[in-house]
Structure 1
Amino acid sequence: MFKVILSLFLCTVAAFASSSGQGEIPDLTMTWIGFASLLIFVVGYYFVAAEEKYEIDKAKPALFIGTFIFILIALYYAINGLNMNLVHIQAEHLILEIAEIFFFLFVAMTYIESLIHMGVFDRLKYNLVSKGYTYRKLFWVTGFIAFFLSPIADNLTTALILSTVLITIDKEKKEFLVPGAINIVVAANAGGAWSPFGDITTLMAWTAGKGVFTDFLYLFPAAILGYLVTAFILARFVPDVKPDFDVSKEEKPEMSAGAKVVMALGVFTIFCAVMSHQVLHLPAMWGMMFGLSLLKVYAYGLKKKHGKEHFNIFNNIAKIENNTLLFFFGILAAVGGLYFIGWLALASHVYDPSVLGPTWSNIGVGFLSAIVDNVPVMSAVLKANPEMGLDQWMLVTLTAGVGGSLISFGSAAGVGVMGKLHGIYTFGSHMKFAWTVFIGYVVSILVWYIQYEVLQISHF
């Protein structure tokens, strides 16, 4: 599907493939540039993780390490008389793939800000809260919506939409917002793991021929049971009281004229992204940008009918989370640099039965994906292409998808929610409840083991 990360790091795979005719890419892991880049990455990630402690926006260290690592790589190539064309090719392909992700997110965020401006989320909040739901029931409602919307709309878009709903319900109550944000991230990532379109990692495995469409649907039991366990524990920390909301005193918010058409255009834009990628073999962002063009045309019609103050799309664009976009750019560039140097390729050696073997290696992929990001890790696994059966390929798809929930910035969904709930949902607030996510992760693996290894239920 379109996947908001939609090539989060297919960029690196494409880069390597395209350069095969340009010469051998040297392994630089055991050189000064290899160790320096790794150190820069680790230090930079520390400041990303400690965003709350140092009061520094996560985009700043991410952007620095992403650009600086590639500058150092180019410097090393120049000093040692290596083929500079390789650096040029890698950087060009990396920029191309990051641009696909960047503009995909750009359009998704523009639609969300447009819907906020037109009162859609205020109306949704009213409809939910006016029913008399407690914070705990709202926690469950938003979680289930995230789990079942993610396989269709992708984990990041789903997380962005529902985190916006959270913040419109209550802007200050952290005992609701923090567990609610974690719940949405876990639900979105788990929901995306059992659909070939639900996450970039499942899309990568499917297009690589590691399973047919229906094979991925068999991950549903492991995905939903793991999520339910985490959600059940998290719900204990959510107040079982109603929000401060008196229906008799609150005026029912009305959506602006044209809001329903904008919602329909948003759905059609998602459809265009899917068709662009699956049918026309264009980048998913092409369909997204086409959807943005339709929104702009419709905005022109609204301006003619209701005046220029009714709906100004450029005002909505100005409100998008630019720090989230820059964070993605920096992290993708940094991991692309590490992959170019050769660090991620080393991970393939652990699949050897004499080391860890496939099962434990695939379980470890989940933890690694939380730190590095699931797509580059999955890219490395697919590139190494270890000898594994369908059961193991489904396991690595599951762990790479849900493992990103273990850390707040371990997945696109988590990063998106951090941007929406800035200062509320942070690395520190997430880690206080990370143990609940870990328990769900273990449950998902146990369900996979019983289903695939004991009962041997894996395909039609």
Structure 2
Amino acid sequence: MRFLGLLALAFAMAFGSGGDAHEQLHLTTTWVGIACAVIFVVGYFFIAAEEVFHVNKAKPAIFIGTAMFFIIGIYMVVNGMDLHPLQGKIDHLIIEVASIVFFLMVAMTYIEALIERDVFNTLKYNLVSKGYTYKKLFWLTGVIAFFLSPVADNLTTALILSTVLLTIDRENKAFLIAGAINIVVAANAGGAWSPFGDITTLMAWAAGKGTFTDFISLFPASIIGWVVTAFLLSMYVPVGAPHFDVAKEKKVTIKPGGKVIIALGILTITSAVLGHNFFHLPAMYGMMFGFSLLAIYSYFYKKTHKNDEPIHVFHYMSKIENDTLIFFFGILSAVGALHFLGFLEYLIALYESMGQTPVNIAVGIVSAVVDNVPVMSAVLNANPQMNLDQWLLVTLTAGIGGSLISFGSAAGVGVMGKMRGIYTFGAHMKLAWTILIGYIVSIAVWYVQFEILGLY
């Protein structure tokens, strides 16, 4: 389905290139353009079919992201073309990719540190030991997902809270399915209004499409859309409460140093925001500064807590998902190559011929099938002339649109793996209408807030 969605996007871009679009020099119709397009489609097919071929998506992503530029270089040398434009594109791409990769690397390291200090295990124990009803647990996990995702990212949030659901009750499928969908939708909605919550929002913020406070203005649309979906889903949550045996469950508390790491994490995010907004530094500099604080703290912790389990910063780094970072490098490079060749001019023509609002709404639906990272990267590389309200709309739709299909977001894919056989594509699609209604409500709230009231 992702492969078909990719083809649909390509055809839509092609048909949208007619009409009044300005003709520009590009390499889309040359052999290098055709060859790179084929490499991208074939490579993305293997990325989308990761579960079928059991090939980590980072492998085809890094191949297409590098091979396309080598082929472009060969074409330009053979035809005696000036290589400075290619060099300029690569230099710009390196800055873009490094900003995102280093940012995510620090964020993932902090998450691993919090996991090792039992911060999230303590949260899980406190939830399951209170004797709450299924409906109360449904709403609690949703609220936590919505407000944890802006800091911890949507994938980590979804994985942690889906584990909580399984801990609560492994047998009650009605509760598990509704709870899983609620967590995925809440995590994606929470990530949409924070530059730290979703990769697409981070990409838009890093590209300078809005300030930190600009993205926070998406909060009403995000939370109202999620609440509507959650209310509809709650009708499928069974009555009663899960059984919990205090005698059989070992109490979990945060390990020494865990609360300090939480404080350092908040300071790290603050430094990233302030550095970006006031000093125009890439957000990754604030994150790397926070990483240095964590490293320094681990040194002094070892000196002052000789009898306690030490804090190993570089061990935490070794546990982060490096394949995810490689995937981002590959896919962003591949889209950058398509932009250099001129393919994204078709996307600009699509905005001109159909209008910004309809296309930005469609981006959310397409991102559920194709994956929001390459779609958002394509929009940012095409860089259509849009005002802040439209950039925030495409950020919103790309962030929450992935919830429409179970594998449309990293959060959904992660929960499918964690709750294999329970949270499936079929189970998700039976209740997808609730998500679609929430998606429409979010767009309606955006329209009233931004286009009618001008509150942003």
Using the size of structure 2 for normalisation, the TM-score is: 0.78
Change (3 A) 1:55 1:258: same
Shift of 1:146: 3.2
1:266/1:79 CA distance change after superposition, 3 Å: same
1:459 paired to 2:455: yes
Matches within 5 A, 1:153-302: 153=151, 157-167=153-163, 170=166, 173=170, 175=173, 180=179, 182-194=181-193, 219-235=218-234, 245-302=244-301
| Matched residue, 1:324 | 324
Q: Does 1:433 align with 2:431?
A: no
Task: Report SS of the residue matched to 2:319.
Answer: coil
Deviation at 1:243, TM superposition (A): 5.5
**How many residue pairs are counted as aligned between the two chains?**
422
What amino acid sits opposite 1:341 in the alignment? L
1:21 matched to which residue of 2?
none
Residue among 396, 399, 419 paired with 1:398: 396
Letter in 2 for 1:68: A
Q: Give the CA deviation at 1:74.
A: 1.8
Q: Residues 125-181 of structure 1, C-alpha deviation per residue, up to 9 Å, x if partnerless?
A: 111111123555434323223334555x3xx62542453243355379595777655
C-alpha displacement of 1:269: 1.0
Give distance in 1, aligned partners of 2:260 and 2:162: 23
Question: Could you say if the C-alpha distance between residues 385 and 221 of structure 1 is closer, same or farther in structure 2, counting changes exceeding 3 Å?
Answer: same
- Per-residue displacement from partner, 1:273-329 (whole Å, max 9, x unpaired)? 111211221111111111111111111122222258432222222211122222212
1:142 maps to 141
Q: How far off is 1:232 after superposition? A: 3.9
RMSD: 3.7
Q: Tell me, yes or no, if the aligned pair for 1:164 and 1:420 is still in contact at 8 Å.
A: no
Residue 111 of structure 1: CA displacement? Answer: 1.0
User: Could you tell me how far 1:338 is from its partner in structure 2?
Assistant: 1.4
Q: CA deviation at 1:65?
A: 1.8
Match of 2:18 in 1: none
Q: Aligned partners of 1:37 and 1:326: how far apart in 2?
A: 20
1:356-367 equivalences in 2 (<5 Å) = 356-367=354-365
Q: Distance in 2 between matches of 1:448 and 1:418?
A: 27
**Matched residues in 2 for 1:57 and 1:69: separation?**
20
> Aligned letter for 1:328?
F
Kept in 1: contact 2:184–2:403 (CA 8 A): yes
SS at match of 1:104: helix
| Corresponding residue to 1:415 among 396, 410, 417 | 410
1:104–1:285 CA contact under 8 A, matched in 2: yes
Q: Which amino acid aligns with 1:302?
A: Y
Q: Which residue of 1 aligns with 2:12?
A: none
C-alpha distance in 1 between matches for 2:29 and 2:82? 19
Amino acid across the alignment from 1:315? H
Where does the alignment leave 5 or more consecutive residues of structure 2 unmatched?
1-23
Q: Distance in 2 between matches of 1:340 and 1:89?
A: 10
**What residue identity is the alignment partner of 2:306?**
H
- Conserved? CA contact 1:201–1:378, under 8 Å: no
- Any conservation in 2 of the 1:350–1:361 contact (CA below 8 Å)? yes
Q: 1:325 to 1:422 in 2, by over 3 A?
A: farther
8 Å CA contact retained: 1:378, 1:400: no
Which structure 1 segments of 5+ residues have no match?
1-24
Contact 2:149–2:190 under 8 Å retained in 1: yes
1:46-78 residue CA offsets vs partner (Å, 9 max, x unmatched)? 222222222222222222222222222222222
Amino acid at match of 1:365: V
